Every structure is written in C-alpha cells, then in structure tokens.
Structure 1
Amino acid sequence: MTVPIDDTGSAAGAAGLTELIARSLERARDRTHGLTGPVEEPDLIRQHSPLMSPLVWDLAHIGNQEELWLLRNLGGREPMRPEIDPLYDAFEHPRAARPTLPLLPPDEARRYVHEVRGRVLDMLEQPRWGDEELSRGGFAFGMVAQHEQQHDETMLITHQLRTGPPVLHRPPPPAPPADTLSLAPEVFVPGGPFTMGTSTEAWALDNERPAHEVDVAGFWLDTTPVTNGAYMEFLADGGYDDPRWWSEPGWAHRQKADLVAPLYWSREGEQWLRRRFGVVEPVPAAEPVVHVTYYEAEAYAAWKGRRLPTEAEWEKAARHDPVSGRSRRYPWGDEDPLPRHANLGQAHLQPSAAGSYPEGEAPSGARQLIGDVWEWVSSDFLPYPGFVAWPYREYSEVFFGPDYKVLRGGSFAVDPVACRGTFRNWDYPIRRQIFSGFRTARDGVL
C-alpha cells in the first residue's frame, strides 16, 4: 500500500485505486499460500489447539468471506457454493468444534479460493463495482484484504502452536541502532486535547470511526515496549507468586491456569529458553516480551509502581503532532509503513530489539508503537461517540463491553494494510497465544 487514500479515493485516482486494491489482494494471497503451502495435509486438517481453527478452515473461510462481500454483496452475483456458508460462519461454530465439520479438503479449498479470486479480479476490471457505499474508496476490497491478512496472522499463531520441525523461515531483524543504549527509559506526553480515531481513512473499520476530540492529561510512557530482560527481573523477584501485584481476576486466572512465565518459555538451569516456530533458543533479553496475558502485563506494571496506558493515551503518544496540532496516520507521519519504519508483515518471525526503528519514532519520542508486538492497554473495548456499525454489526458491536481489553499497534505478524495509528484490536484478558506485549505508563508532569 503506497498511496494514502481518503473517503473518495481521489488521492489515488480510479486507476491508482484499482492498482492499490490488486496489490493488497495479491500480497494477502501470497502470504496465505506461504502459510498453507509448506504444511502437509495432516497438519492442515489437524486442530493444533482448541483455541484455533484447523488451517484448512481458515483457508476456505478466507475465500468464503471474499465471495460473500465482493461477489455477492458488492457485485450482486449468485452464490457459488451456498451449501458451505454455514461451515465457514465464524459465529455459527466455535473454534473448538470446527474439526468435526465436513470441511472442504485442502485441494478443494485451494480450488475454491482460487476460483473466487479469479472472479474478483475480473470484477475489479469493470468500470463500476456495484453497491456505491461499499465500493466508495474501494472499501469492500480493502476490508477483504484486511480480513485475509488478519486470518494470516491467525494462521501464523497456529504455526507457533504446532509441534514438529520448523516449516517457516525468515531472516532475523536488523541490528538495533547505535543510540539504543542511550535512549531515555520513558518519554513525556504533554496534556491537552487531540483527535482520536478517523473519519477520512477509506479502509478504516467501523470501530475506528468517527474522529473525535479527547482531552488527555500529561503522562509518562515507556520509550519502548517492556523487554524480555526487564520481565525476567519480575520473574526473579517472585512476581508470579506475589498476589500484591495482581488484580483479583488476574490472580484467580494465574492460579487456575498455573501461569509461571510467558507462554512458550521454559527454565533450564539458570537460563530461560523459548520455543519459536519450532526452534528452541535462549530468550533474547533485548527483545520486547511477547505472549503475555493482559493480567501478566498489569501485574508487571504494578510491580514497577506503574500502570498500563489507556487507549487514548496510547493513541495520543502514537499520533499527536504537537507542532501542527493534528493527528498523523502513523507515528512517523502519513507515509505508509516501510521496513525502515516498523517490523511488520511477517518479514521476521520475532520482534526486533527494543529501541529499533528510529525513523518510526513518534513526536512523543516513543519507538515501536507500530509493529513488533500488540500492546495491551487498560481500556475495555468500547465504541467511540457516534459509532455506527457498518457494514455488519458482528465485526465490532457484538464484542463491545468489559469482557474484552484493547490491544494497539500491531505486531511483526501484522500486514501494513491491517495496521495504522487508529487500528483497534481486542481480546479476552486471558489470551496469550496472540503476539501480545505491552509498555507501561505513569501519571506526572514534566
């Protein structure tokens, strides 16, 4: 995605918008093939965790949603395989039950998604795409590209959960810059109003809308996400055994789930090891900690005498430019993410060292607010003032409430099309198979 787009699509123009859509769809499909191609059929149909679908379900679900939104809802076409709709309705069958369904076998699923994509590309060449509201700025296509990339991240989570030899390979992240060791541990974000959310980003999803003013008191925020090394200090100090640092529900979950360290960590003598996509290796102290629950993040923050930032604080630190007074699309400006800005798109199979990507720094001075790890914030997942569910209420509205906590910023597993300064993710506070980390904050004045 190389062209900023607005609600009219005018920044790219008709031809540029079509090219942008085609590139976004192609990039998502290339990634889907890369996540399903190296896996043998038994691994595609096996459920590697009750928390996750079989990979073959995600594959066919991607095609089914593309057909539903682009060919049927946007293009007015007749259903290709109406009998499979209930199988791939994410609300009809919980993940734990999906292996029992008569799912399309891998080869048939591949043929189906290929045929759907062929028809979509034919439709994309037409001068008009159908429903005017869905097609404005290419929204429906952008929604489908984001949906596929979100499921690609889900499939990458499944790859992390699977056992056996590695099948995915990526180079390690680049070395951190020379100034990393001299970075201040925290930055100050001045108080005052800023614009949160968006009303002008054509592919923004409903929970990111509308733009609205929020007044945030000044606060201090960690310059980088909390690292493995810092988290080891919490472990060494008995943080998991001391209920003083845990909220009541957090402590109850810690006991029930027998949490003793981040997911995939194990102890060998004096050394912490982790399993990462089939490779067992020493835990790198400089990397942001990943695979922790909200409750673990909350407990660490309390142990440090700090707290998790609110969602509004996080977004102000990431987007607000005090010089111009406006909110940027990304911490570094309005330019779409490039490798020099952030660790995104599965370019690496791990977070980059804390302090990396100085060119992605926010005006606040905070780094890595986009990419590397999703960051838990203290806020419940709630609608913005003036929220309207669109184009379907099941994307966001049915999840609003205190059961879900918000995560911001994306991770190394997120594609740029599904990650921007306004993008909102959410999950149960007990979840940690996701690529979740955090940074801490504190009240105060400069």
Structure 2
Amino acid sequence: MTPDKNVIAAELERSRARTALLTDAVDDDDLVQQHSPLMSPLVWDLAHVGNQEELWLVRDVGGREPVRQDIDHLYDAFKHARRDRPALPLLDPAEARRYIAQVRDKALDVLDRVRLDERPLVAGGFAFGMIVQHEQQHDETMLATHQLRAGEPVLTAAPPPPGDRRVRGEALIPGGPFTMGTDTDPWALDNERPAHVVDLPAFLIDVAPVTNAGYAAFIDAGGYDDPRWWSAKGWAHRQEAGLTAPLHWFPDGGAWLYRRFGRVSPLIPDEPVVHVCFHEAEAYAKWAGKRLPTEAEWEKAARWDPETGRSRRYPWGDDPPGPQHANLGQRHLAPAPVGAYPAGASPLGVHQLIGDVWEWTSTDWHGYPGFRVFPYAEYSEVFFGGDYKVLRGGSFGTDAAACRGTFRNWDHPVRRQIFSGFRCVRELA
C-alpha cells in the first residue's frame, strides 16, 4: 500500500521527534563529545540527517537552491571516518538544530507540491521514505551511542511485557521454494530487491533468540577458553580483543551484572542476549551443536506462509507492526523476554523475528541476483564483497519504518556496540 502525503509527513515528523528526544536528553558538552571511537559525536548525526534530507528532498526532488552547500563535505560519511569527526569544524548544537529545522520546512513544502508519480525517485513517496528510514537508522545509531556514554542515566522507558517460558525449543521449516526479497514494497531499499525464488532443504530453527541464561551456560562451560568452538578468525579476534563475555557484562561474584544506558542491574535470564559479535554467536552455535542460519533460512522462517505458499511482509502477516507484535522503536530500552509477543509469531511458531535484537546470519553481504543500484551506490553496492555479515530482524532500537521481513542490515563481524543477538539452526538428522 502506497502511503499518502499525510502519512509521509507524519512519518517525517515522528522521526524528527525521536531525534529530538535523543539529542535533547543531554547537554551541549555531551552532544559534541565523542563517547567511543566507533561512534560519531551526537551533534554530527544530528546535522547529518538534515544534510541528507537537504540533498535528496530539497535539492534533488524539489530542485531548490542549497541551504548550506558549504557543509556538505563535513557530513559526507564516506569522506571522514567516525573517529575523525570530532576534529571537524562541525555545526554547534544550536546551529545544527536551526539547520535541520530550516531544511525540514523546505522539505515539507516540497512534499506539498510534488507529484508522487512523476519519476521513479518519488514513486510511492520513495525518496521521502528513504529519508525517514535514514533518520531512524541514525536514531538507532545515536541510541547505541547513548549506551556507550558514561554518566548518569538520561533515557527512560517502560519495561517490556513479560515473557512466556513455554516458548522454547525448535520449529521445523519444511523444504522447498519460497520468494525472497520484494518487488512491491514501496519503501524497500535497493538491496531488498528484486524478489527471487530460493529453494531450501528442510531445517530446524530456534523458536526464539538465544537468551542471557543460554549464553551464560556457554561462558560457564569455558566457551571463551576453548578454540574448538571458534573459527580461526574468531579465535584470533577473541584473543586480540580479550573477549570474555558480551559487551557491558560485568562479573559480580558468581553472577553477571549488565550496564544498560547508565544503569547496572542483574541479568534477566530469559531476555535475548545482546551486544555479541558474529564470532561470539558463531562459537556459541558450534558449542550448542548447531550453526547460525543463512540469510535465506532466516527470511523463510520469518515470511513463508505454509498455507498459501506466499511470503508475507512480516511474520504475522502484511499489517504494519503494532505494540502487540514486536519490540520496536525504542518503546522499551531492552529486549523483551522470550515469548513476550505471541501475536508476532510466524505461522510455524517462530517468535520475535522482528525487533528485540538484530540477528547475525552466516551470509556475507552481497546483492541479490539481478540487483540494480537505486538511487545511489553508496547505500549498498560499495559495501558488497567486503568484510561484512548480514543481520536481520531489527532490534528494540529499530523503528518500524526501517524494519520489515525483507530488510537487510550488515556490519563487520567484530562489531558489538550494535544491538545484536542471534538464534541457531540445524539440519534434520
């Protein structure tokens, strides 16, 4: 279903409200500080989302004069590594807020005047949807920066709903073909296209992500000290980085504590484990006698409907996510315990495929057969073939606008600052 202009405007404003929440929560000193060399200062992200909006909506779609062409190079993510951005002559917080407000006024005027059928870039509101998703992606990045910052807590949210201990074990995904990717979702990005048929053998998949309790068992069994469970690259990284537990875990006697957004508390056993890298996920899976799913296996478990044989937009159907379906959009500041969203399960009984934690897959980052760049190579294509693994499903920090059954994320296999977890699969005996 193609969004109308009122829906598009509302999505733009909803994204901006989240950006404001994340940046207004701290003072100017916090905004300009770099909280980790892996992350930009929050003030860079703030102005960057405005600069992308200016480039695509004001200048390209609208054909308007530039607002601040002089700052384009400062907010080009390909020209400056994150670790180098604090040294740039960035807009200060007040200037950044004025700039993004000015750009937004112009973008909304463009939206009011443009025809959404006049060229491919705006068909179905695509360019506007691309900017909504871009801002929401940076909001999730800023949320990860908040997790890395030191100091008193500044973010609050209600706790997620309780889980259901009956949700455990594996689900059988029958063998056969299914349609992967999409040709019809109006806001799907180029790497989600085109739709294509993939034929898979039957497999078993965990009905829920691996939990803190499950992962702690791996640690207690000496999983970090036994190279049998690790790939050569993974073991080398484990040794070099000194990994002994997920990021933000701290030993406390015979138990583990977890620091989340400035608050320290005991681990919640049935909460999906988060802040593990690909190598840690892969080692756990081998220790458990399983493996990580391929991207195609993950998507079939998430989208394939055995009754109709078609692929849904989400595990529960084609309707957009509601609060009963998935933990998305920073509504809670933690993954929900396993079984918290029965309404969001797939037809074959697989839970929490959308939201909670990004799930590592074993697939390298590449384009689908027939991939075509649209509208620019720097979103997807320039990363193909690099040292990246695909993640699926979104996290509690991912917005619904930037998450669906076809949405694809990717990152280096050593990254742990992202809200990443995993689940396992195994072949039938």
For 2:134 and 2:83, the matched residues in 1 are separated by 21
Contact 1:75/1:130 (CA < 8 Å) preserved in 2?
A: no
Contact 1:331/1:360 (CA < 8 Å) preserved in 2?
A: yes
Contact 1:342/1:372 (CA < 8 Å) preserved in 2?
A: yes
TM-score, normalised via structure 1 length: 0.95
For 2:50 and 2:65, the matched residues in 1 are separated by 15
Where does residue 285 of structure 2 map in the other structure? Answer: 301
For 2:33 and 2:165, the matched residues in 1 are separated by 45
Q: Does 1:310 align with 2:291?
A: no
For 1:438 and 1:184, the matched residues in 2 are separated by 15
Residues 184 and 40 (structure 1), Cα distance of their counterparts in 2 relative to 1, 3 Å cut: closer
Compute the displacement of 1:277 (Å). Answer: 0.0
Q: Does 1:181 align with 2:165?
A: yes
Compute the displacement of 1:181 (Å). Answer: 2.2
Residues 269 and 184 (structure 1), Cα distance of their counterparts in 2 relative to 1, 3 Å cut: closer
Where does residue 38 of structure 1 map in the other structure? Answer: 25
Where does residue 421 of structure 1 map in the other structure? Answer: 405
Q: How does 1:42-121 map to 2 (within 5 A)?
A: 42-121=29-108
For 2:6 and 2:82, the matched residues in 1 are separated by 35
Q: Match for 1:427: what amino acid?
A: D
The DSSP-based 3-state class of the residue aligned with 2:120 is helix
For 1:259 and 1:197, the matched residues in 2 are separated by 35
Contact 2:326/2:352 (CA < 8 Å) preserved in 1?
A: yes
For 1:130 and 1:211, the matched residues in 2 are separated by 22
For 2:144 and 2:79, the matched residues in 1 are separated by 22
Would you identify which runs of 4 or more consecutive aligned residues in structure 1 move more than 3 Å? none
Q: What percentage of residue pairs aligned between the two structures are identical?
A: 64
- Calculate the aligned-residue CA RMSD, in Å: 1.0
The DSSP-based 3-state class of the residue aligned with 1:133 is coil
For 1:36 and 1:424, the matched residues in 2 are separated by 27
| Pairs aligned (count) | 429
For 1:23 and 1:321, the matched residues in 2 are separated by 32
TM-score, normalised via structure 2 length: 0.99
Pick one of 3, 6, 12 that aligns with 1:25: 12
Where does residue 243 of structure 2 map in the other structure? Answer: 259
Instruction: Structure 1 unaligned segments of length 5 or more: list them.
Output: none
For 1:181 and 1:27, the matched residues in 2 are separated by 35
Contact 1:75/1:129 (CA < 8 Å) preserved in 2?
A: no
Where does residue 219 of structure 2 map in the other structure? Answer: 235
Residues 65 and 127 (structure 1), Cα distance of their counterparts in 2 relative to 1, 3 Å cut: closer
Pick one of 391, 403, 412 that aligns with 1:407: 391
Where does residue 354 of structure 2 map in the other structure? Answer: 370
Where does residue 275 of structure 1 map in the other structure? Answer: 259
Where does residue 352 of structure 1 map in the other structure? Answer: 336
Residues 184 and 289 (structure 1), Cα distance of their counterparts in 2 relative to 1, 3 Å cut: closer
Compute the displacement of 1:121 (Å). Answer: 1.1
Contact 1:63/1:112 (CA < 8 Å) preserved in 2?
A: yes
Residues 129 and 443 (structure 1), Cα distance of their counterparts in 2 relative to 1, 3 Å cut: closer
Contact 2:165/2:338 (CA < 8 Å) preserved in 1?
A: no
Compute the displacement of 1:129 (Å). Answer: 6.1
Compute the displacement of 1:122 (Å). Answer: 1.5
Where does residue 141 of structure 1 map in the other structure? Answer: 128
Compute the displacement of 1:182 (Å). Answer: 2.5
Residues 73 and 130 (structure 1), Cα distance of their counterparts in 2 relative to 1, 3 Å cut: farther
Contact 1:74/1:131 (CA < 8 Å) preserved in 2?
A: no
Compute the displacement of 1:133 (Å). Answer: 1.3
Where does residue 307 of structure 2 map in the other structure? Answer: 323
Instruction: Structure 2 unaligned segments of length 5 or more: list them.
Output: none
Q: Does 1:169 align with 2:153?
A: no
Compute the displacement of 1:62 (Å). Answer: 0.4
Contact 1:265/1:273 (CA < 8 Å) preserved in 2?
A: yes
Q: Match for 2:110: what amino acid?
A: M
Pick one of 300, 317, 335 that aligns with 1:333: 317
